[in-house]
Amino acid sequence: MPNRHARATRAAVIVASLLAVTAPALHAQAVPPKNAQAARATPSVVKHTVKPGDTLWDIAKFYLKDPFRWPEVFHANTNIVKNPHWIYPGQVLTIDGSAVKPEVAARVDSTGFVVAQIQTRAQAPTVFAEHQSTVDERLAAATAMPPALTVRPGEYEAAPYVVAENGRLEAGRVIGPVDRPALGLSSDAGFRLFDRIYVTIPAGVNVGDKVVVAKTGETIADVGRVIEPTAVMRIDSLAGKSQAIGTIVKQFGTVVPGQGIVLPGRTFESTSTRPVNGSYPLTAKLVWVQGSPRLPSVQTYVIFAAGEAKGVRPGDQFTLLSDGQFSDGTPAPLSATARVTIVRVTPFGASGIVVHQDQPEIQTGMAARLTAKMP
């Protein structure tokens, strides 16, 4: 019996010793230390893939808790982000893991990315970032060229045109300057842009209306009188029953006392529609060249003896044809000399502007053929 009791006692001692050794280990497995999770959730580097709508401000707010710490994100990624105002979708930014707030660091996976990244904002980007698509759109809008007009408004306004030989033109007259020149100076050279001028005007013209200043040109036999606009004037105040003070707001030529005041007439509507090239039966004669230069060039105004009755419209194109001769007197075949775009049409003639030149010589009497017609 005593031996049996002794053996039982020794067994109890051994069991107790074993329990004392294994109990702490079991307890350690069941209850991990408080800082064990934090130690596992603190990566050295956290990565973020930029999504549409992201800004450095938002990224700093999500990862670092303080949006004003966005420069930290920028300076850590200067090899990728060249300008803190511009970050683009697809860029991968790195953030110091020790600076990331714990609740975010706890969701970092084995690749360094947060399992659920920040939500993109619906509103437009702030000054801290611009998407590449936004930059492209703005650049395209800034550099986009408007549709080229077939006839520009300024070309129409400045174009000389033909009226009836005995038709009344002037609705008023240029009288003289409002601002007198200083002693010893002269205004013989004419008025300039934004000069104020006394004029006479017809009834019905009010303050704010615009009128055309023009001079009467030569009379073309069997065609009409040429009128050459020199300026557009805005009426600023009424000085009497038929007198007013106006300001030159557009100028095409020399404006001097005695020139006429003309009402604008019909409204011009520009278009980007292009004329259709083809072989058309309409021919016209060149009857006037502005300034009668020896060798007219591109942008020179000319007039054809072909009016509205022949169906000519602004935007139509005529090709001037030369029928000269060789040095030995042999007649040369017809050849294209220049191309003219019609910019203004009256019942008496069509005014055009030279837009392309193949030969240097352009003179009155030359024949022209309609080679492109507005649809």
pLDDT of residue 31 exceeding 70, the answer is no
Which pLDDT score is estimated for 35? 46
Domains of the chain, each with CATH number or no CATH: 37-143 (no CATH), 153-180+187-262 (2.40.30), 276-373 (2.40.10.410)
pLDDT over 90 percentage in the chain: 46
If one compares 365 and 116, the residue with the highest pLDDT of the two is 365
Q: To 10 degrees, the CA torsion angle through 229, 234, 238, 239?
A: -60
Q: What is the mean pLDDT of residues 312-341?
A: 85
Smallest CA-to-CA distance from 210 within 267, 149, 152 is with 267
pLDDT tens-digit profile of 139-173?
Answer: 777 777 777 889 999 999 999 999 998 766 668 99
If one compares 174 and 332, the residue with the highest pLDDT of the two is 174
- The neighbouring-strand residues paired with 11 are none
If one compares 250 and 33, the residue with the highest pLDDT of the two is 250
Residues in the chain: 375
pLDDT tens-digit profile of 335-346?
Answer: 899 999 999 999
Which pLDDT score is estimated for 130? 54
Cα–Cα distance measured from residue 246 to residue 3, given in angstroms and rounded to the nearest whole number: 137
Of 6-20, 189-203, 212-226, 301-315, minimum mean pLDDT range: 6-20
Which pLDDT score is estimated for 167? 65
Cα–Cα distance measured from residue 150 to residue 191, given in angstroms and rounded to the nearest whole number: 31
Which pLDDT score is estimated for 241? 76
pLDDT of residue 124 exceeding 60, the answer is no
Which pLDDT score is estimated for 144? 74
Amino acid letter for position 122: A
Local confidence band at 43 (pLDDT 50, 70, 90 cut-offs) = confident
pLDDT of residue 294 exceeding 50, the answer is yes
pLDDT of residue 58 exceeding 70, the answer is yes
What's the mean pLDDT when you consider all of the chain?
Answer: 82
φ, ψ (nearest 5 deg) of residue 44: -75, -35
pLDDT tens-digit profile of 210-269?
Answer: 999 999 989 999 999 999 999 999 999 997 778 999 999 999 999 999 999 988 877 788
Tokens at residue 36, please?
């064990």
Cα–Cα distance measured from residue 169 to residue 224, given in angstroms and rounded to the nearest whole number: 12
pLDDT of residue 183 exceeding 80, the answer is no
Q: What is the mean pLDDT of residues 33-38?
A: 46
* Residue 228 neighbours by CB distance under 10 Å: 19
Which pLDDT score is estimated for 112? 83
Which pLDDT score is estimated for 324? 67
Asked whether the beta carbons of 352 and 161 are under 8 A apart, the reply is no
Which pLDDT score is estimated for 169? 63
pTM comes to 0.61
Please write down the long-range contacts of 330-338, taking CB distance under 8 Å and 24 or more positions apart: 335/359, 337/361, 337/362, 337/366, 338/362
Asked whether the beta carbons of 180 and 198 are under 8 A apart, the reply is no
Of 116-130, 194-208, 280-294, minimum mean pLDDT range: 116-130
Q: Strand, helix or coil at 67?
A: helix
pLDDT over 70 percentage in the chain: 79
